[in-house]
Structure 1
Amino acid sequence: MNERILRVLEFNKITKQLAQAAATAVGKDRALRLAPQKNLQIVQTLQAETDEAVQLLRLNLDVPFGGIVDIRSSIKRSTIGGTLTPQECLDIANTIYGGRQTKGFIEKLEVTIPILKDLTKNISSLNDLEQQIKKCIDDQGKVLDQASSKLQSIRSSIRTNEARIREKLNNTIKTKSKQLSDAIITIRNDRFVLPVKHELRGSIGGIVHDQSSSGQTLFMEPKAVVELNNELQAAFVKEQQEIDLILRTLTRYIAEENAPLYENVMALGQIDFIFARAKLAHQMKAAMPKINNEGFIKMKQARHPLIPADEVVANDVEIGSSYQAIVITGPNTGGKTVTLKMVGLCTLMAQSGLQIPALDGCELSVFDHVFADIGDEQSIEQNLSTFSSHMTNIVSIMDQINEKTLVLFDELGAGTDPQEGAALAMSLLDEAIAKGACIIATTHYPELKAYGYNREKVINASVEFDVETLQPTYRLLIGVPGRSNAFEISTRLGLNQSIIERAKSYIGVDSKNVENMIASLERSKRQAEADYDEAHQLLLKSEELKADLESNWEQFDQEREALYKEAENKAEKALKKAREEAEAIVQDIRDKQSNITMKEHEWIEAKKKLEDAKPQLASEKGDLKTLPPKPQTDLQVGDSVKVTTVNQLGTVLEKISSDEYYVQIGMIKLKVNRENLQRVKTSSINERSPVTMVQNSGHSTRSELDLRGQRYEEAINQLEKYLDDVLLAGLTNVTIIHGKGTGALRKGVLKFVENHPHITDYRTGSMNEGGSGVTVVEIK
C-alpha cells in the first residue's frame, strides 16, 4: 500500500497501539512493520491466527512470554567470530527457557488452535545449551566461580590476597590513626589505599594514587601492601583471561546452535505478534470479519478505531453488491470524513490480519489498492492552490484504479466554481464506476444529490443533523441525501421570519421539491427503522414463546410416557408374582391331595385358564385396541372412548350434537369433536388407566404383614404387593411387622410408606402393638 495512504488514514497509530500490546521486542518490531496484504488466502490465514488467540483470551488463557529477548544480533555476532558478554549469554539462556515454557503451555491446551500449535513445532528445547550457560553465569549476569576449576582457584587466591591486604591496612589504621583523615580502607585505580592527611604523608610512606577535591587528603598505598596489591592485580588479569576463555567457549556453543536459536526467536516473535493482535481486538471490542475477493463490504455497527468508545457513533455501511458508489452529503463536522476514514482504516486493518471494531457478521474485501483524497494538501512551496493540490492527487489516483480498488474522495470537486466543480465530480465518479472501483465520496454540491438517483450503481447517503439541538448525531443514513437545514437552523437561532420567508422565495421550484423529497425520505426511513425494531422485538418474543411451549410439551410427553411405563411395570410384577403363587398353590394341592382323581389334561386346562386371566398391557399390544369405525350416531352416554388428541381414555357423559360430545377424563370434563373419539372395549381396559388391576380372589387379605427374616429387596417387593392387595380388598388400616434388628429393614419400610401415594398416615406401634418393631399404616 502507498505510504501516503497509510499516513492519511492514520494506520501508523494502529501499529503503535499494536506494538504496545506486544510482550517481546521481536513482537513489537513485527507490529511496527505491519502492512496490509493483497492475497486473499494470506489475509484469511492472518485472520484465523488472530481468532485463535482471541479464543484463548476469552478463556483467560494468556500465553507466558517472560524472559524472552530479541537475541538475533547476539546470534549473528556468535557466528562471525565475536565473543558474547555474560549478559548476552544469559539472555540467550532465558530466551531458551521462555520458549520452552511457551511451547509447553500451548501444547497442553485442550482447545482447537491448530495454527498456534503448529508454530510451536518450530521451537527447539535446547536444554543442554541452556544448562551450559546457567552453569557458568548467574541470574545477575556474573560468571560463576564453578564455571571452571581454574577460575575457582584464581578467585580463591584473590580473596586470600584481599584478606591479607585488609589485615595489614587495618593494622596501619590502628597504629597511625592520627595521620589519617578517616579510619577507612578504600580503593583507587583498583588498588587498596588509605586516606592520609596531606601534611602527614611522610609519616605513612607509599604511593599516592589520588587526592580529595580540597587537596587536604591524599589516598596513599602504604609500602607494606604494594607487593600484595601487585599480586592481586596479577590475579585479576588471570581472572579476566579465564573469564574470556569461558565466554569464548559459550559463544562457540551458541554459534553451533544458531539455526534453531534463530527459529525459536522468530516463532516466539510470531506467537507474541498474534497475541498482540488479539489483545488489540479485545481492547477495541472487535470482531473477526469474513474476507472476500469480490469488492463487497458490509459492516454492522462499525466504529472508528481511533475514537474513544464513549464518544464514537457506530454506523452500518454496505457497498459493492447492489451499488458500488456511495455519495454522502450533509453539514460540516457532521461525520462525513470520519465515515470515509473508518471504512478505509477498517479495510487496511482487515487486510493486515486485525479484527475490526464492529458487530459479528461483518464482511470486508481484499483490495489491491486503497486510495484516499482526504484533507487539504495545499502546498505554498509548490505554488499549488487547494483545488490544484486535490486534482494532482486525483489525477494520480484515476491512472491506477481498477475493479480491485477502493477509492475515498473527501469533498470531491471542492475549491473551484460550484457548477464546474459539481460537473467535474460527476464525471470523475462516472469514470471510476466504469473502471469497476468501489467509491465513497463526500460533497456539498446539491447537484450530486440528484446524481445518486440517476445512476443505477450509485446510492445517496447523509449524516443526520438534529435541528432541535443544532448538533450532528453522526449517524449515517444510507439512501437519504442530506439537507442543508439552513432555514431551520436560522429560525432556531432567532433570525427574523420575514427574512427567512423572503429567502425561501428566491429558491427555485426544483430545489424546493428536492428538499421536500429529502425530508419525506428522512421521515420514511425513521419510521421504517422504528417499525423494524418493533417487529424484531415481536419476533424475538414469539420465538422465545415457541421454544418454551415446545420444551414444556416435550417434558409433559416424557412424564406421561414415564407414568405409563411405571404403571405397566408394577402391574407386570404383580401379575408375575400372582402367577408364581398360583402355580405354587396348584402344585401344593397336587402334592398334598393326591387322592383326588383329576386327570393331567384337566390340570393343563386349568393352568391355561389361569394364563388367560392375565390382562393385556399397553406395552404388549402396542396401543389401545379400538373398534372398527362406526357411524357417528353409535356413541351413547356411558360408552368408553379414547380421545385421540390427548391419547387418553374417558367416558361419554352427554351428546351435545351429532358432531360434539362431553367426555369425562379422570376429573376433567371436555368438549370433544366426534372425529377425535374412538369407542373402545371395556372388558379388559379400565376407564381410568391403561393398566387393569385384578383383585386376587384366591385368598383373603390379612390386616398385617410380617417381613422379619427377609432380605431388604425381597421385603420391599413383598410390601409393595401386599399394599396393592390391601387397596383391592378395601382395608384402611394395616400393620407391618419388620422387627427391630439393625434398623435397616425398618428404615426401608418407613421410606417406602412415606412415598406411597395411597398412604395418608403412618406411625410406630404402641407398646402393646410391638413398639418400634411395628409400623401401623392408614390407607385411603
Structure 2
Amino acid sequence: MNQRILKVLEYKKIMEQLSEQAASSLGKEKVAALKPSSDLEEVQALQRETDEAAQVLRLKGHVPLGGIFDIKPSLKRTTIGGILSALEVLDVASTIYGGRMLRRFIQDMEEPEMPILRELVDEIAPMKELEQEIRNCIDDHGTVMDGASDKLRSIRSSIRTYESRVREKMDGLTRSKSSMLSDSIVTIRNDRYVLPVKQEYRGSIGGIVHDQSASGATLFIEPQAVVEVNNQLQEARVKEKHEVERILKELSEQIAEESSMLYHNVSVLGKIDFMFARAKLGQSMKASMPSMNDKGIIKMQQARHPLIDPSEVVPNDIEIGEDYTSIVITGPNTGGKTVTLKLVGLCTLMAQSGLQVPALDGCELSVFDEVYADIGDEQSIEQSLSTFSSHMTNIVDILKNVDHRSLVLFDELGAGTDPQEGAALAMSILDEVVNRDARVIATTHYPELKAYGYNRPGVVNASVEFDIQTLKPTYRLLIGVPGRSNAFEISRRLGLDESIIESSKEKVGVDSQSVENMIASLEESKRGAEQDYEEAERILEEARTLRQELQVKWDQFEEKREKLYKKAEDKAEKAIQQAREEAETIVGEIRNMKSRAGMKEHEWIEARKMFDEAQPNLAKKKPEQKQASKPKNETRELKPGDEVKLLTLNQNGTIVEQTGKNEYQVQVGVMKVKAKQKDLEFIKAETPYKEKPMAKVKGKGFHVKPELDLRGERYEDALNRLEKYIDDAVLAGYPTVSIIHGKGTGALRTGVQNYAKNHRSISGYRAGGMNEGGSGVTVLELK
C-alpha cells in the first residue's frame, strides 16, 4: 500500500493504539513494521492468529507476558566478547523465565483448540539451568550476591572487617579529640573515613586532608592512625570490583553459548506479544474476525468507524461486490458521507493487517492489491481552481493504475468546477473505473448523479439520512435510496412564506419533482421496513427472555422435586437400616443355634447376600453446583497499602494510590502499573507501621534508630537531617535503613532518592514493601 493512502485513512492512529496494547518492546517492534498485506493466504493466517489470541483473552482475561525484554542488543554484545552488566544479565534471566511461564500457561489450557499458539510455545526453550545460574549470582535488584563465588564472599568479609577496624579507631579519636572537632561524627570523603576538624586544630591531628567546608572553617581529615587500614579497605574494594567483573564475564560467556536459542526465544515471544496486542485492540473495539476473500466482496453489519468515540458513532450496514460493484452516495454536508468512505477504507486496511474490525460477527472483507482514495474537504469558492486541480491530479494517478483488484474511494467527485461540467466528468470517471471492474464508493452533491445508478448495471445509489423534523443528519446510510433535496421542507420549517415556496416548486421541472417524489417514497418504504425489522427483533428478544425465565422456573421445579425424592429416600433408608439392625440381631441369635438347626456355613452366607440385595436402589444426590465466589475487590473498598493480586500479570502487589474512578496504581516488585479495579483481587489490608528497635552507635552517648522520620520537615532541613543521619547509620553498621517521608506531593520522596543516588555510602534504594510503609518509605542500602 502506498504511504499516501495510509495517511489519508489515518492508518497510523490505529497503529498507535495497537502499539499501546503490546506488553513488551518486542511486540512494539512488530507493530512498527506492520503493513497491510495483499496476499490472501497471509492475511487469513494473520486473522487466525488474532482469533486464537482473542479466544484466550475471552477465557482467561489475560496472558502472562510480563518480565520479557528485548535482549537482542545484549546477545549481540556477548557474541563479540562483550561483558554484560548485572542488570543486563538479569534481563536475560527474566526473559527466560517469562517465556517459560507463557509456555506453561498455554500448554495448561484445555480449551479451545489453539494449534498456532501451541506450536509457537513448543518452540520456546525452557533454559532453566542458565536462568538458575544467573539467579544464584545476581539478586532481584541487579546486585552480584556474596554467594556468587567463594572468593567474593571472602573479599566482602574482609571489607566488613576493615570497616569495623576503621570505625573502632575513628570512634576512639572522636572521644579523645571531641573539642577539636566541628561535630562529633565520622563522615566519608573520597570513599575514605574522615573527621570534621576545626581549622585551628589542623596541626594537632595529623593525617591527610581530603576536603573542606564551604566556609573553610572545617577540614575533613583522615587521621594517620587509620590511613593504613583505609588503604587495605580500598584494596579490598578493588579486588571486589575485579571479582564481580570476572563473575559477569563468565555469565556473559554462558549467555553467548546459548545466544542462538535465546534469539529464537525472543523472536517467538515477540510474535506472541504481537498476536495478543492485535487481539486486545479488537477486544477494546468490540470487533470481530472478518472472513477474507479475494473477490472484492465486502459485507459488514453495524460497522463503526474505529477512530470515533463509541458513544457517538452511528453504526451502518455496508455491502458491495456481489449484486453491485459501485455505490454512489448523495446527501447534505456533514451528513456522514466522508466518514462512510473512511470507514470502508480503514476497515479494509485493518483486515489486511490481521486486525479484527468493529462490526458484528459474520462480517466479510476482501483483500485488495491497492486501495485508492481522493478524499478532501471542499474549500471556498475563491479556491475552487486549486481544489479542482488537486482532485484531478489524484484522480489521474488513480486511473493510471486501477484494476479489478482495487478499491477506489472518491469524495465529492467532480467538485470545484462548473456543476454541469463537474457532473459530466464525474459520470465519465465512474464509467471508466466501473468498466475496469474495480470496487468504487463515491460521494457527490450533483443531482445528475442521482439517476446514475438506475442507468448503469452494477451501480447502486445510496444516501445519508436527514431528519426534516430536527433539521439534522442522522448519519445513517441508506443503500438503494438516492439523496433528495430537502430545500423546500427546510425552508418551510424555518418560516419562509408558503407562496414563495410554491412559486419555487413551479419553476422546478416535472422530471425533477418526479424523481424527488420517488426518492421520498423509497425513503418511507425503507424506514417502514426497518421499523418492522426492529419490532421483530424486539419480539425475538422478549421470546428469549421468556425462555430464560421458564428455564429458571423449570430448574427450580427440578430442584424441588429432587429434594422431595431425597427426603422420601432418606426416610426409607432409615427404615431399612432399622430393619437391618433388627435382622442382624435375629440372625446372630439363630447363628448361635445353627448346630442344632443343622445348617451349613455357605447357606448362611447365601441368605445374607439375598438380604443385602433386597435393599432398594436409592437415587444419588446430584452434585451441587458451586456458586461462583464474588471477587474480593467487589465487596471491599481498596485503599493505599492494601495487598492485592494483579490478575492480568498473575502477580501480587501493593496499592500505591487511587488514580481515577475504579483505577489504581499498583507497586508490583520494582514496577508501578495502573490497573482497573476489576483486574485486582484483594488479599489483605496494610499492616500498621511498627517502629523498629534502636541501635546504639559505638562510642557515642545517644542512640540511632534504623529509620528516620522526616514527615513535616521543610525540604532543606530534611536533607540536612538526612545527611547527618546517614553518617550515624554507617557508623552503627546498619546494612539498610528506612527513611519515612510520607506520600504527600512526592517532593520529599524525590529529594531523598536523588540524594541516595549521589551518596558514596549508599549502594542502592527501593520503595518500602507492603509491611514497611509502602511508597511513604524509601529503604536505603548502605555500603
> TM-score w.r.t. structure 1 length?
0.68
Match of 1:621 in 2: none
Q: After TM superposition, give the deviation of residue 315 of structure 1 in Å.
A: 0.4
Task: State the one-letter code of the partner of 1:334.
Answer: G
Q: Secondary structure at the match of 2:401?
A: coil
Match of 1:64 in 2: 64
Change (3 A) 1:711 1:527: farther
Task: State the one-letter code of the partner of 1:191.
Answer: R
Q: Secondary structure at the match of 2:129?
A: helix
Whether 1:447 and 2:451 are equivalent positions in the alignment is no
Whether 1:101 and 2:101 are equivalent positions in the alignment is yes
Contact 1:100–1:125 under 8 Å retained in 2? yes
Q: How does 1:51-90 map to 2 (within 5 A)?
A: 51-90=51-90
Task: State the one-letter code of the partner of 1:15.
Answer: M
Match of 1:37 in 2: 37
CA displacement, residues 249-284 of structure 1 (integer Å, 9 cap, x when unaligned):
111111111111011111111111111111111111
Change (3 A) 1:214 1:454: farther
Match of 1:237 in 2: 238
Match of 1:250 in 2: 251
Change (3 A) 1:376 1:533: closer
Match of 1:627 in 2: none
Give the percent of matched residue pairs that are identical in Structure 1 and Structure 2: 64
Task: State the one-letter code of the partner of 2:519.
Answer: I
Distance in 2 between the 1:540 and 1:156 partners? 77
Distance in 1 between the 2:363 and 2:424 partners? 35
Q: After TM superposition, give the deviation of residue 300 of structure 1 in Å.
A: 0.5
Change (3 A) 1:708 1:104: closer
Change (3 A) 1:45 1:185: same
Q: After TM superposition, give the deviation of residue 536 of structure 1 in Å.
A: 6.2
Match of 2:291 in 1: 290
Distance in 2 between the 1:508 and 1:463 partners? 24
Q: Secondary structure at the match of 1:307?
A: coil
Task: State the one-letter code of the partner of 2:206.
Answer: G
Contact 2:180–2:201 under 8 Å retained in 1? yes
Change (3 A) 1:365 1:201: same
Q: Secondary structure at the match of 1:491?
A: helix
Whether 1:308 and 2:291 are equivalent positions in the alignment is no
Q: After TM superposition, give the deviation of residue 178 of structure 1 in Å.
A: 2.5
Contact 1:377–1:390 under 8 Å retained in 2? no
Q: Secondary structure at the match of 1:385?
A: helix
Q: How does 1:513-532 map to 2 (within 5 A)?
A: 513-532=514-533
Q: After TM superposition, give the deviation of residue 448 of structure 1 in Å.
A: 1.0
Match of 1:360 in 2: 361
Q: How does 1:33-432 map to 2 (within 5 A)?
A: 33-111=33-111, 112-376=113-377, 385-432=386-433
Distance in 1 between the 2:400 and 2:280 partners? 39
Distance in 1 between the 2:139 and 2:549 partners? 66
Distance in 2 between the 1:469 and 1:293 partners? 43
Distance in 2 between the 1:218 and 1:156 partners? 31
Distance in 1 between the 2:491 and 2:175 partners? 98
Match of 1:636 in 2: none
Distance in 2 between the 1:213 and 1:408 partners? 74
Distance in 2 between the 1:89 and 1:539 partners? 61
Task: State the one-letter code of the partner of 1:249.
Answer: E
CA displacement, residues 637-667 of structure 1 (integer Å, 9 cap, x when unaligned):
xxxxxxxxxxxxxxxxxxxxxxxxxxxxxxx
Distance in 2 between the 1:239 and 1:120 partners? 41
Q: How does 1:278-677 map to 2 (within 5 A)?
A: 278-376=279-377, 385-534=386-535
Q: Secondary structure at the match of 1:59?
A: helix
CA displacement, residues 459-487 of structure 1 (integer Å, 9 cap, x when unaligned):
11011011111111110000011123122
Contact 1:462–1:482 under 8 Å retained in 2? yes
| Greater Rg over alpha carbons, structure | 1
Q: After TM superposition, give the deviation of residue 301 of structure 1 in Å.
A: 0.6
Match of 1:13 in 2: 13
Q: After TM superposition, give the deviation of residue 211 of structure 1 in Å.
A: 2.6
Q: Secondary structure at the match of 1:143?
A: coil
Distance in 2 between the 1:200 and 1:452 partners? 105
Q: Secondary structure at the match of 2:60?
A: coil
CA displacement, residues 414-442 of structure 1 (integer Å, 9 cap, x when unaligned):
11111111111111111111111101111
Q: After TM superposition, give the deviation of residue 548 of structure 1 in Å.
A: 13
Distance in 1 between the 2:10 and 2:532 partners? 38
Q: After TM superposition, give the deviation of residue 207 of structure 1 in Å.
A: 2.0
- Unpaired runs of at least 5, structure 2: 551-578, 585-610, 620-783
Task: State the one-letter code of the partner of 1:23.
Answer: A
Distance in 2 between the 1:548 and 1:87 partners? 60
> TM-score w.r.t. structure 2 length?
0.68
Change (3 A) 1:545 1:253: closer
Contact 1:402–1:437 under 8 Å retained in 2? yes
Distance in 2 between the 1:216 and 1:411 partners? 83
CA displacement, residues 649-707 of structure 1 (integer Å, 9 cap, x when unaligned):
xxxxxxxxxxxxxxxxxxxxxxxxxxxxxxxxxxxxxxxxxxxxxxxxxxxxxxxxxx9
Distance in 1 between the 2:549 and 2:139 partners? 66
Distance in 1 between the 2:378 and 2:238 partners? 65
Change (3 A) 1:250 1:384: farther
Distance in 2 between the 1:543 and 1:91 partners? 54
Q: After TM superposition, give the deviation of residue 14 of structure 1 in Å.
A: 1.1
Q: Secondary structure at the match of 2:408?
A: strand
Match of 1:594 in 2: none
Contact 2:331–2:337 under 8 Å retained in 1? yes
Task: State the one-letter code of the partner of 2:118.
Answer: K
Match of 1:602 in 2: none
Distance in 1 between the 2:121 and 2:8 partners? 38
Q: Secondary structure at the match of 1:56?
A: helix
Q: After TM superposition, give the deviation of residue 235 of structure 1 in Å.
A: 1.6
Change (3 A) 1:311 1:539: closer
Q: After TM superposition, give the deviation of residue 330 of structure 1 in Å.
A: 0.7
Q: After TM superposition, give the deviation of residue 151 of structure 1 in Å.
A: 1.6
Change (3 A) 1:490 1:216: farther
Change (3 A) 1:384 1:68: farther
Task: State the one-letter code of the partner of 1:52.
Answer: E
Q: Secondary structure at the match of 1:158?
A: helix
Distance in 2 between the 1:357 and 1:543 partners? 25
Distance in 2 between the 1:386 and 1:183 partners? 83
Contact 2:384–2:417 under 8 Å retained in 1? no
Contact 1:378–1:389 under 8 Å retained in 2? no
Distance in 2 between the 1:460 and 1:708 partners? 87
Task: State the one-letter code of the partner of 1:317.
Answer: I
Contact 2:207–2:222 under 8 Å retained in 1? yes
Change (3 A) 1:167 1:544: closer
Q: Secondary structure at the match of 1:460?
A: strand
Change (3 A) 1:377 1:399: farther
Counting matched residue pairs gives 560
Q: Secondary structure at the match of 1:288?
A: coil
Select the structure with the greater relative contact order (CA < 8 A; seq sep ≥ 6): 2
Q: After TM superposition, give the deviation of residue 546 of structure 1 in Å.
A: 12
Q: Secondary structure at the match of 1:488?
A: helix
Distance in 1 between the 2:220 and 2:453 partners? 91
Task: State the one-letter code of the partner of 1:10.
Answer: E
Change (3 A) 1:708 1:226: closer
Contact 2:198–2:217 under 8 Å retained in 1? yes
More displaced 10-residue stretch of structure 1: 164-173 or 340-349 = 164-173
Task: State the one-letter code of the partner of 1:2.
Answer: N
Distance in 1 between the 2:423 and 2:164 partners? 93
Q: After TM superposition, give the deviation of residue 61 of structure 1 in Å.
A: 4.5
Task: State the one-letter code of the partner of 2:49.
Answer: E
CA displacement, residues 700-724 of structure 1 (integer Å, 9 cap, x when unaligned):
xxxxxxx999989xxxxxxxxxxxx
More displaced 10-residue stretch of structure 1: 310-319 or 30-39 = 30-39
Distance in 2 between the 1:495 and 1:198 partners? 99
